[in-house]
Amino acid sequence: MCMRCFELTRRSLLVGGGVAAAALHTGIADARIRPADMVPLIGPGFRPTDEDEKGLWKDMERVEEEIADSNLLMQDPKIAGYLRDLIGTVGGPAAKDFRIYLMRIPDFNAMMFPTGFAVVFSGLLLRMRNEAQLAGVIAHESGHFLRRHEIRSWRDQRRKTDLFAIGSMLAGIGGAGAGVYLGDYVQLAELGTLLSLFRYSREMEAEADAMGAKLIAQAGYDPMEMSTVWLQLIGEEQSSAAYRGKHRHHGSLFDTHPSDDARMADLKADALELTVPGKVYNNYRDRYLATIGPIRPMLLDDQVKLNDPGASQYLIETLAQDGWNGLLRFYEGEIWRMRNRPAFHDEERAAQSYAAAVVYPDAPADAWRWHGIFLLKQGRTVEAKAALAKYLSMKPDAPDAPWVRQVIG
């Protein structure tokens, strides 16, 4: 898929304004808001009564239609059902009214819209190490809805600007050609502009944090996982910036943030306040990995092709804290092979990663392919032929099968 298009989406949604609705991406108030003080302001079956909110809902219904018809929408029934069940578990009193859509975009992002539908990016699923972490992000977004942040923010933005025309933005979203991937990315770029109208304050983000922690604790998840997600996101951004020789970006993402330490402290305080001594919390890591396992290779492939080695390596090493496997080692090799900087011995590092990958029983076929190719380069012909034969046995219809057969004789 078009990586330049991915970058368009990243800039539009994460920098150009959509970050306002990104999960866990904005700051908190100076005084910590306690989870115990968070009471939902919306119950089941909520419908707006004010005329301006009715109009907003009508526009958001058109947005939802566009998202539901997008080529970027992932149609996996198992994962779709899993996400529906999860938001139903941690969505609070309005959960039965929520809808949730998974889009194939390799970024950390989730957002809740004013009418109660949520969008989750595939990159978010890759970054979560267990179900509790994903539940925390979804509960945070549910908190925005339950505390009516969208309509409060929308009205505030409306008072501040005369250039308020949701209809024209929606026309741009709907104008992209159906069935063309680039068109869907343009739609999402327009959507990023639209989301800038829902710019949450520090207090709103603090409420969503506290509300989300309360929701996942009530559902039996470890609320401390919310602070872990934040820590992982910061680490990824720092690694990405360090690779590029820059400071971590403090543009739209962090302009209104207090220090990272302050938010971390508040998230941990929320968790400690909610944790019941002696109670056993299950993070459901095995259930989570079993659900996303079939698409994990695709998620890793999309990430590596973003050409952000610093972020990708940090991400893989973070996931490997729960144990290395053949899939992670293979994509570690892909990072170095694609970067291919001789001064950093990337070829040697890639060869080592592929060799490590094939030790594991879950090594993908392409790990054997690249392991065999690097063995050929090293003059280890017998071992190379064995590796390529293994690749061919796993992938007999591979596009390069004729070449492999010729090499192994």
**CATH number of 340's domain:** 1.25.40.10
Q: Is residue 334 part of a domain?
A: yes
**248/360 same-domain check:** no
State the Cα–Cα distance between residues 376 and 25, nearest whole angstrom.
46
Task: Judge whether 299 lies within some domain.
Answer: no
CA 381 to chain centre: 42
Q: Please, what is the end-to-end C-alpha distance for the chain in angstroms?
A: 35
Measure the CA–CA gap between 286 and 132, rounded to whole angstroms: 11
Find all residues with CB under 8 Å of 256, minimum gap 6, and list them.
Answer: 26, 27, 201, 202
pLDDT value at residue 11: 38
Residue with tokens 């690779």: 243
Q: What pLDDT score was predicted for residue 162? A: 52
Q: Examine the domain organization and report whether 39 and 168 are in the same domain.
A: yes
Q: What is the pLDDT of residue 219?
A: 96
Residue 306 lies in a domain: no
Does any domain span residue 396? yes
Q: Are 24 and 230 in contact (CB under 8 A)?
A: yes
* Inter-helix orientation angle 365-377/326-339, to 10°: 50
Position 263 in a domain:
yes
Domain tally, the chain: 2
pLDDT of 30 reads: 56
Helical axes 149-160 vs 131-146, angle rounded to 10°: 60
SS3 assignment, position 369: helix
The residue among 241, 274, 307 that closes a domain is: 274
| Domain encompassing residue 329 | 324-408
Residue 247 and residue 351 share a domain? no
Of 251, 274, 297, the one marking the end of a domain is 274
Contact status, residue 54 vs residue 48, Cβ threshold 8 Å: yes
**Is residue 99 in a domain?**
yes
Give me the tens of pLDDT residue by residue for the chain, a chain 409 residues long: 333 333 334 433 433 333 333 434 444 445 789 999 999 999 999 999 999 999 999 989 988 998 898 889 999 999 999 999 999 999 999 999 999 999 999 999 899 999 999 999 999 999 999 999 999 999 999 999 999 999 998 888 777 765 445 555 554 444 433 333 445 555 565 656 666 667 888 889 999 999 999 999 999 999 999 999 999 999 999 999 998 887 655 433 334 444 677 778 899 999 999 999 999 999 999 999 999 999 999 999 999 999 999 999 999 999 999 999 999 999 999 999 999 999 989 999 999 999 999 999 999 999 999 999 999 999 999 999 999 999 999 999 999 999 999 999 8
Domain-embedded: residue 297: no
Q: What is the pLDDT of residue 236?
A: 95
Beta bridge partners of 120: 102, 110
Same domain, 262 and 331: no
* Count of residues making up the chain: 409
- 230 in the same domain as 102: yes
Residue finishing a domain among 232, 253, 274: 274
Output 147-152 pairs: Cβ under 8 A, ≥24 positions apart: 147/38, 147/40, 147/41, 147/204, 147/207, 147/208, 147/211, 148/41, 148/42, 149/198, 149/200, 149/204, 149/207, 149/208, 150/112, 150/113, 150/114, 150/198, 151/48, 151/53, 151/56, 151/114, 152/204
For residue range 244-259, list pLDDT tens digits in order.
887 655 433 334 444 6
What pLDDT shows up at residue 115? 95
Shared domain for 74 and 13, answered yes or no, is: yes
Q: Which amino acid is at 86?
A: L
Kindly state whether residues 341 and 268 are assigned to the same domain.
no
Same domain, 98 and 199: yes
Pair (257, 357) in one structural domain: no
Tokens of 403: 């070449």
pLDDT of residue 186: 57
Shared domain for 122 and 231, answered yes or no, is yes
Provide the pLDDT for residue 192: 61
From CA 331, how far away is CA 350, in angstroms rounded? 9
Check whether residue 339 and residue 261 sit in a common domain: no
pLDDT of residue 173: 45
The verdict on 53 and 170 lying in the same domain is yes
Query: For position 112, what pLDDT does the model report?
Result: 93
- Does the residue 90 lie in any domain? yes
Task: Tell me if 329 sits within 8 A of 357, measured CB to CB.
Answer: yes
